[in-house]
Amino acid sequence: MILCTDLIRGRGKIDYVKVENFTSLSNEGLLLIQISNVGDVNSEFVCEISCDENILKIEAQRIFLNPNNSTTLQIPVFMKTTIETNNSCLITLVNNVGESLDHYTLNFSVYQLQVRFWLELLFNILA
């Protein structure tokens, strides 16, 4: 009798990571992560996201991809503060047996649009 204990491991990669629509006055933005299955079997992946303390915890995302397919995760990101900050998130792609396949460190700044905010407020009061 032969026992096969070796699991078929998925092969994946992180294609790109970026943050959109983020200002500290809104306290939220959108994290975009494109992931590809570069293997030749259907595979399940987990995308783990670990950010600085200024950002609320982001839950890991499970992804199932067919061979040579990609998907773009759109994950809301929320700040704990309304001040200007420089931030960092580590994105790690893990396969179905917990092996790290790829990682990406995203650095981004959250800035205040105070001048625009006050001009809009003044315009609304005078209108």
CA 66 to chain centre: 21
> Mean of the pLDDT values across residues 67-85?
88
The enclosing domain of 61 has a CATH number of 2.60.40.10
Q: How many domains does the chain have?
A: 1
Task: State the pTM of this model.
Answer: 0.78
Q: Which two tokens stand for residue 35?
A: 């992931």
Q: Considering the domain boundaries, does residue 93 fall inside one?
A: yes
> Could you give the maximum distance between any two Cα atoms of the chain, in Å?
85
Average per-residue pLDDT in the chain? 82
What is the pLDDT, as a whole number, of residue 113? 46
Whether residue 7 is contained in a domain is answered as no
Task: Extract the runs of DSSP E, i.e. beta strands, from the chain.
Answer: 12-23, 28-37, 43-51, 61-65, 70-78, 85-94, 100-110
User: Letter for the amino acid at 95?
Assistant: N
Tell whether 98 is covered by a domain.
yes
Instruction: Note whether residue 18 is domain-resident.
Output: yes
Parent domain of 111:
12-126
Mean pLDDT of the region 38-57: 93
